[in-house]
Amino acid sequence: MKSLLKVSKNCLSILLVGILGATLCLTDRFVALEEDWGLASLFQLRGALKAPEHIVIITINKTSAETLQLDEDPEQWPRTHYAQLVDKLNQYHPSLIAFNIHFSEQHATKNDAVFALALASHKNVLLTSYIKQFSLRTAPVLNELTYERIIHPVTVLENAAIATAPFPIPKSLSTVKQFWTQKNSVGGVPTLPMAVFQCYLLKETYGDLLPLLQKLNPGLYNTLPASFEQLPKPQKTFQDIQSALTHNGTSLEQLDHFIRSASSTPEKKRLLHAWRSLINSNHSLYLNYYGGVGAINTIPLHHVLAAASLNAELLKNKIVLIGYSTDIETEKNQGFYTVFSGNGEGNTSPVEIAATAIANLIDASWIKPLPTYNQFFVLMAWGCLLIGIFRISPYKISLILIVALSMIYLGLAYFVFITYCRWMPLLTVILQTGFICLFESISHLRTLHQVSARYLPKNVFTKNMRHPDAMDSYGELMQGVCMASDAGQYTALSESMNPMALSILMNKYYSAMFPAVKACNGLISDVIGDSMLALWAKPVADTQLRIDACHAALKINAALQHFNQSPLHQLPTRLGLHYGEMRLGNIGAIDHYEYRAVGDIVNTATRIEDLNKVLGTRILVSGGVIEGLSGFMSREIGEFILKGKSQPITIFELLGKGNHPDPKLAPLLHAFAKALQLFHNHEWSKAQKAFVNLNKYYPNDGPTLFYVQYLQKYSPLLQEQNNTLQKPVIEIGQITQSWRYLPLDAE
């Protein structure tokens, strides 16, 4: 049940993180970042494309103005030059000609008439209008009201052209990324790229559409001429035809069937598919740039007008766009910044942007971002996948998997972009991946610190992380207290219990001990079976270390008394504390180190702990630990040479807190001190009598019983000692070989 609940929580957290990440990535800020960096990166990776074959630009540059000896402002040129240009271009049978030049100002009537005659005679020229914004101030608060209006070419030219359309360019803070197919702010009129596409489509497929139109809308069919050239306004006719073929679902189905089954040429079928794609598209499309400046076939104007003849195939059946380059009237025409402008190629002229948009429409190659709901699903699924990998895999393997999956995703995004002009989220996925990896790395590091803190002090872990190559030499010389512990009856329990049950018992046992050490600022250095080693250490001597160690010993004793109230298992525990110098640092070699204390203090503390077995006590401390401390009850036990040692050490029993003994213990402590003084004075018989007498009243006092038995056994030998200037020293290594007294809880 717990496992199922944990899995459910993990799944829910993964889903919530995925949804949150996807939602954030679809905000306006992230979408703008994706446009500026993600889309631009895909263009840069892809590089330039082959120029579209059906588009040619006639550019009006500074050289053309100088060669033709005309004004630098092309709008001021005599319009007879534009009439001459139209006539010259039509000698090479272009499909359409579109001027991205404004002819809204009235010029010489004769010149306008000549230009209008050229337009009307060829019936394949579109002119550009422009959108102007006006402001009105309304009383009484004088709020400013803005509106837009189309400024058309002069009437004689507008009537002669087959269509007129504006070409507004949506520009972000940095680059031109999109173009409009229609401008809703002025009544939804088609823009110049869309108008050119509509006229080109209608001209190329007019004969193919008539049979379908005859079937779907006979009324409109009967009003149409037999050929495209006979249409007075092709753009208006196209809009009527589109309305007739797309006004309901049935008509769209029939249009789809017609496009699939049409026996037209591949070029015409491609145009029809592009048209069908546009019907359900947004009115703002992303430009698919072919490259930087000059990526589309471009001919300077003076090459056309000044040349006797041109290559016959250069303009045949092509769409010819005429417009300014960026080097003419630079103070008015700075061009636009595109995704390729940063490569040192300069800004792109409006006519090149228009040509790019028209080519995109004809080829249906405009960049198509994933629909919002698909983006949400992709980003959510990606976030869930990454979080899921971190949840089920080790950290290092997770990073490797995520790097591999990220490379696969980037490769897929690039393939889809260059093959299908489909734009998958790129930067948002990278940011999402980076954020999740950063979050999981911080979480991993936090977990690593939490786990390491159970084995190493945080400062030690941090130092070793910073200098892993110096681990074998890491260590500091310290002054402090070492506490050794040992549990009675552990050997018997380990023989009778299975390892799992014993492990559970010992974890509970240490759960009672460790908090006392931590609460008193101690460090648990080592745990082996039933033994614990705890340290209180600083680089310089500090009385507080000894105070904390004594408090910890008393807390441990109290906690274990409560622990041992269990009727199942008891682990009576002995503690030994010693004060001195130690080296605290890493001990080990090659690929295994442990952080522990090294020095005589460790061995001595262990021997003092072991002395509890002989004396029948719980907490023994050396004189160095208790000397000079107030606030603790203790009694001196005597001078001992511990097993394996050569120097004597004064041992005290730590009994509790407070400067005054418990009234129940006061008589015992007073009588024991007097008897021990007799022992120290080498008055063996008197000392023996005193301890025997004390044992009658306190038969359970271990140190008293120890001295009774010790004096009974070694009194003859002690009588032979003549040195009364030194305190008598008890060598534990000798007496334990034949010692008959052991406390009841000893192993």
pLDDT of residue 124: 93
Instruction: Convert the pLDDT of each residue in 202-244 to its tens digit.
Output: 999 888 888 888 888 888 888 889 888 888 888 888 888 888 8
Specify the DSSP element, H or E, that contains 134. Answer: strand 125-138
pLDDT of residue 463: 65
Specify the DSSP element, H or E, that contains 273. Answer: helix 266-279
pLDDT of residue 445: 84
Among the ranges given (29-38, 269-278, 476-485, 599-608), the one the predictor scored with the smallest mean pLDDT: 29-38
pLDDT of residue 610: 92
Q: 66 or 190: which carries more pLDDT confidence?
A: 190
- Specify the pairing of strand 619-622 against strand 649-657: antiparallel
The whole-number average pLDDT for the span 505-519 is 91
503: burial class by Cβ within 10 Å (0-12, 13-18, 19+)? exposed
Q: How confident is the model at residue 363 (pLDDT cuts 50, 70, 90)?
A: very high
Task: Please determine, for residue 4, whether its predicted confidence score (pLDDT) is greater than 70.
Answer: no
Residue given tokens 């005659």 in the structure block: 117
DSSP 49-77: -PPPTTEEEEEE-HHHHHHTT--SSGGGS
Distance CA 320, CA 301 (A): 12
Q: Domain segments of the chain: what residues?
A: 2-33+370-451, 55-133+161-363, 468-662
Helix axes 666-680 and 702-719, enclosed angle (nearest 10): 20
Specify the DSSP element, H or E, that contains 123. Answer: none
The whole-number average pLDDT for the span 534-544 is 93
Distance CA 500, CA 506 (A): 10
Q: How confident is the model at residue 191 (pLDDT cuts 50, 70, 90)?
A: very high
Of 731, 583, 720, the residue nearest 647 (C-alpha):
731
542: burial class by Cβ within 10 Å (0-12, 13-18, 19+)? middle
Task: Please determine, for residue 450, whether its predicted confidence score (pLDDT) is greater than 80.
Answer: no
Distance CA 484, CA 576 (A): 5
Task: Please determine, for residue 747, whether its predicted confidence score (pLDDT) is greater than 60.
Answer: no
Among the ranges given (87-101, 151-165, 363-377, 728-742), the one the predictor scored with the smallest mean pLDDT: 728-742
C-beta separation of 284 from 184 below 8 A: no
Of 336, 365, 362, 340, the residue nearest 351 (C-alpha):
336
Task: Please determine, for residue 517, whether its predicted confidence score (pLDDT) is greater than 90.
Answer: yes
Structure tokens at 572: 């009576």
Q: How confident is the model at residue 746 (pLDDT cuts 50, 70, 90)?
A: very low
Those residues whose C-beta lies under 8 Å from the C-beta of residue 381, and which sit 6 or more positions away, are 18
Structure tokens at 105: 């100002």
Distance CA 475, CA 405 (A): 43
Q: How confident is the model at residue 422 (pLDDT cuts 50, 70, 90)?
A: very high
Q: How far is CA 456 from the centre of its chain?
A: 29
Task: Please determine, for residue 289, whether its predicted confidence score (pLDDT) is greater than 50.
Answer: yes
Structure tokens at 243: 């309305």
Architecture of domain 468-662: 2-Layer Sandwich (3.30)
Distance CA 552, CA 567 (A): 26
Task: Please determine, for residue 184, whether its predicted confidence score (pLDDT) is greater than 70.
Answer: yes
How many CB atoms within 10 Å of residue 13?
Answer: 12
738: burial class by Cβ within 10 Å (0-12, 13-18, 19+)? exposed
Distances (CA, A) of 484 to 455, 494, 573, 579, 608: 17, 20, 10, 12, 8
- SS3 label, residue 232: coil
Distance CA 131, CA 497 (A): 92
Task: Please determine, for residue 744, whether its predicted confidence score (pLDDT) is greater than 50.
Answer: no
pLDDT of residue 495: 80
Q: 245 or 24: which carries more pLDDT confidence?
A: 245
pLDDT of residue 570: 82
The whole-number average pLDDT for the span 112-121 is 93
Single pTM value for the model: 0.72
Among the ranges given (4-13, 16-25, 397-406, 594-603), the one the predictor scored with the smallest mean pLDDT: 4-13
Q: What are phi and psi of 351, to 5 degrees?
A: -65, -35
C-beta separation of 130 from 166 below 8 A: yes
Distance CA 640, CA 638 (A): 6
Task: Please determine, for residue 623, whether its predicted confidence score (pLDDT) is greater than 90.
Answer: yes
pLDDT of residue 740: 47
Structure tokens at 285: 């499309």
Give the chain's length: 747
Instruction: Convert the pLDDT of each residue in 660-691 to its tens digit.
Output: 777 788 899 999 999 999 999 888 899 999 99
Task: Please determine, for residue 736, whether its predicted confidence score (pLDDT) is greater than 80.
Answer: no
C-beta separation of 56 from 318 below 8 A: yes
The percentage of the chain sitting over the pLDDT mark of 90, rounded to a whole number, equals 42
Structure tokens at 32: 């703008």
User: Mean pLDDT, the chain, as a whole number?
Assistant: 85
> Per DSSP, what are the bridge partners of residue 129?
166
pLDDT of residue 540: 92
Distances (CA, A) of 206 to 197, 213, 219, 339: 13, 10, 17, 37
Task: Please determine, for residue 732, whether its predicted confidence score (pLDDT) is greater than 90.
Answer: no
102: burial class by Cβ within 10 Å (0-12, 13-18, 19+)? middle
Q: How confident is the model at residue 330 (pLDDT cuts 50, 70, 90)?
A: low
Among the ranges given (37-41, 181-185, 724-728), the one the predictor scored with the smallest mean pLDDT: 724-728
Task: Please determine, for residue 76, whether its predicted confidence score (pLDDT) is greater than 70.
Answer: yes
> Per DSSP, what are the bridge partners of residue 588?
593
Q: How confident is the model at residue 742 (pLDDT cuts 50, 70, 90)?
A: very low
Query: Which stretches within 393-426 are classed as H helix?
Result: 395-420
Distances (CA, A) of 637 to 623, 644, 655, 677: 10, 19, 12, 10
Those residues whose C-beta lies under 8 Å from the C-beta of residue 183, and which sit 6 or more positions away, are 131, 166, 168, 189, 191
Q: How confident is the model at residue 743 (pLDDT cuts 50, 70, 90)?
A: very low
> What amino acid occupies position 42?
L
Spell out a b/e string for 63-89, using b for 16 or more CB atoms within 10 Å of the CB, else e: bbbeeeebeeebeebbbbbbbbbbebb
Q: 533 or 4: which carries more pLDDT confidence?
A: 533
pLDDT of residue 159: 93
Instruction: Convert the pLDDT of each residue in 334-348 to its tens digit.
Output: 678 888 887 666 788
pLDDT of residue 172: 59
Q: What one-character DSSP code corresponds to residue 38? A: I
Structure tokens at 504: 């559970």
Of 361, 365, 377, 430, the residue nearest 15 (C-alpha):
377
Distance CA 93, CA 337 (A): 33
Instruction: Convert the pLDDT of each residue in 371-389 to its tens digit.
Output: 888 888 888 888 888 888 9
Q: How confident is the model at residue 7 (pLDDT cuts 50, 70, 90)?
A: low
Among the ranges given (186-195, 457-466, 692-701), the one the predictor scored with the smallest mean pLDDT: 457-466
Q: What one-character DSSP code corresponds to residue 317? A: T
Among the ranges given (140-144, 180-184, 187-191, 584-588), the one the predictor scored with the smallest mean pLDDT: 140-144
> Per DSSP, what are the bridge partners of residue 536?
481
C-beta separation of 637 from 653 below 8 A: yes
C-beta separation of 169 from 176 below 8 A: yes
pLDDT of residue 689: 94
- Specify the pairing of strand 55-60 against strand 523-528: unpaired
pLDDT of residue 707: 93
C-beta separation of 375 from 26 below 8 A: yes
Distance CA 409, CA 399 (A): 15
Distance CA 576, CA 612 (A): 8
C-beta separation of 639 from 650 below 8 A: yes
Distance CA 522, CA 260 (A): 83
Q: 493 or 56: which carries more pLDDT confidence?
A: 56
Among the ranges given (79-83, 214-218, 498-502, 567-571), the one the predictor scored with the smallest mean pLDDT: 567-571
The whole-number average pLDDT for the span 700-709 is 93
